[in-house]
Every structure is written in C-alpha cells, then in structure tokens.
Amino acid sequence: MSIAVRVASPADVSLILGFIRDLAEYERLLHEVECSDADLRRDLFGENPRAFCDIAEADGRPVGFALWFYSYSTFRGSAGIYLEDLFVVPGARGIGAGRALLRRLAQRCVDADLGRLEWSVLDWNTPSIAFYDSLGAMKKEGWTVRRLYGESLVQLAES
C-alpha cells in the first residue's frame, strides 16, 4: 500500500471537519466540537492562516490528517510546530499513515531549523502513547495543561 502526504486545500474543508469529528468521537469529546466548514476555511485558507493541515492518503484515498500551527520556545529561542490534531481512520491504522504525517512535520522542522515538534495526548490513550513512544517522543514530566475559554476567557479579558 502506498502512503502519501499532501498539503490540504480548500476543497478538503469538509473532509477535515469529518476527521475532526471522528477524532472527537474517539476521544469521547464529540459534544465539544463547535468547528464549522466556515471556521476551517477562514483559519486554514483565509488571508491570514492561523493553522495548517496535511492529509495522508493510502492509494489515493484520504485516511488521516495532521492539523498544526507554529509555536515559539523562549527557552530554546526558536520557533517550533505544535500538532493540534493527528488522526487516522480506524481501518487504516497500522499501515504507516500516522508515521508519514509525523515524518512530514519532522521534515518541516528540520528543513526550517525549527526547535521542536510538540503535541499533547490524553493520558488514557495507550495505543497512541505506545505509538509516540515508538517514535522516540519524550513525555513532558511535571507539566499540566491549563486552558481559559468561553466565559472564563471573556471574564478575564473584561476584568
């Protein structure tokens, strides 16, 4: 089976949203998905893109995606890539699509002299953790993710 990774295009918006919804369902978070085609069109393909997306194909058929954006490390003094979402459809897992997507991001980092490739994984997602460990990804001990959104974000902004 041939795996190829390509940059997403505006024609992929509905496909990407479908992958996002499938990922959210797998993560038991489908009820939190508010994203729309219009949001993706604006943020991935608008005048000022905020994020980027790659599509993995197996024999020409879309089987997964990686949605990412640039980050910055003040300690390293260099930009990096933060991987927001990585998803491969269940029927295509184990054929190399996830590895190909991460390899493409690693190549971007190396080619652009970026300091790191980073992402988060749910602590119960042992298949993904094992996959990431097999690639040599390090666990970031001692860090806890914090987030402001919704009403808490608004309240802080207005305080």
d(CA 61, CA 82): 26
Q: Which of 70, 72, 82, 132 is catalytic?
A: 132
Residue 26: active-site member: no
Per-position DSSP letters for 74-102, written without gaps between them: TTTTEEEEEEEEEEE-GGGTTTTHHHHHH
Question: 65: buried, middle or exposed (CB in 10 Å: 19+, 13-18, 0-12)?
Answer: buried
Which residues are the active-site residues?
A: 132
